[in-house]
Structure 1
Amino acid sequence: MRQPDIEIYLKDADHQAITAWLEQAIGPCSAWQQKGQTYKCQCNGIPVTWLPKAVGKWHSLLLESDTTPWADDLACARAAFAALDVEIRCAPGGWQEDESEENTDRWIRISTDGKEDIVWRTA
């Protein structure tokens, strides 16, 4: 089942690399529009939000659509790692409002070590 949106966290990535990857994977992107610390653009009609340093040195990339080339966060994380060669983190599945506290710290890490389940305390 496809997730309604995609969110991944990237370490040490920048706008130019992200834009180039998104254009290759999705299609043409509009110019980034900055509002406070948040950047937004559209890539082939998909709303994209980039939040630098959303969690420490980790940058958040949110694709607000279920029509991306990826069915879920993990598929996107794998593609981002392959294209950008930076460590990526994502949730192991869709996030639920009533999710238990212990599950909110469960994440997947994609790096040169492969795929790992980790505990990442973001709060």
Structure 2
Amino acid sequence: MQDLEIYIRDLKAGAVCRWLESQVEQLTLDDSDVSRVMKGTAGFGGSHLNITLYPQAFGKRYTSLIIEGEQLPWNSDLECARSAWRELDTEIRCSPGEWKEGEPVDNEKWWRLDSRGEQLVVWN
């Protein structure tokens, strides 16, 4: 199982569904209430995808989006973040590489995509 994870700043209700509808098949996700954890499914390339949104990740302004499956619409978190930024028009962040759960992230740089472009930054 592979996964993609990005962080979306100030997520608006319905925005993730509008973006993902053009990227995946058979999307079942209700993101009309972005203040709670939301789970959904979709298909891509004949593979089943699990989609989860976690509000208030890395501070109150970011929502974590995790997409898991055998085949994914993008090859990396950064590719996913670029697609999201083009469609959602809000700041998107993602890990620059293969971060694993439990590893420290305090001084790690993250990709930040916003109106200033793509930059590696310390999160805080």
Q: TM over 0.5, yes or no?
A: yes
2:121 counterpart (105, 118, 121): 118
Identity of aligned residues (%): 36
Question: Scaled by the length of structure 1, what TM-score is found?
Answer: 0.82
Q: CA deviation at 1:66?
A: 4.3
Contact 1:5/1:64 (<8 A) preserved: yes
Match of 1:85 in 2: 89
Structure 2 segments unaligned to the other structure (5+ residues) = none
The answer to whether structure 1 residue 96 and structure 2 residue 100 are counterparts is yes
Aligned partner of 2:77 among 73, 77, 80? 73
Q: Compute the displacement of 1:98 (Å).
A: 7.3
Describe the superposition over 1:21-42 as per-residue Cα deviations: whole angstroms up to 9, x where unpaired: 11111122114399xx421000
Matches of 2:25 and 2:92, distance apart in 1: 22
- Flag structure 1 segments of 5+ consecutive residues without an equivalent: none
Whether the 8 Å contact between 1:26 and 1:68 is mirrored in structure 2 is no
Structure-2 separation of matches of 1:20 and 1:66? 23
Q: How many residues align?
A: 117
Structure 1 residue runs of 4 or more that deviate by more than 2 Å after TM superposition: 31-34, 96-103
Q: CA RMSD in A?
A: 2.4
In structure 1, how many angstroms separate the alpha carbons of the residues matched to 2:112 and 2:93?
Answer: 5
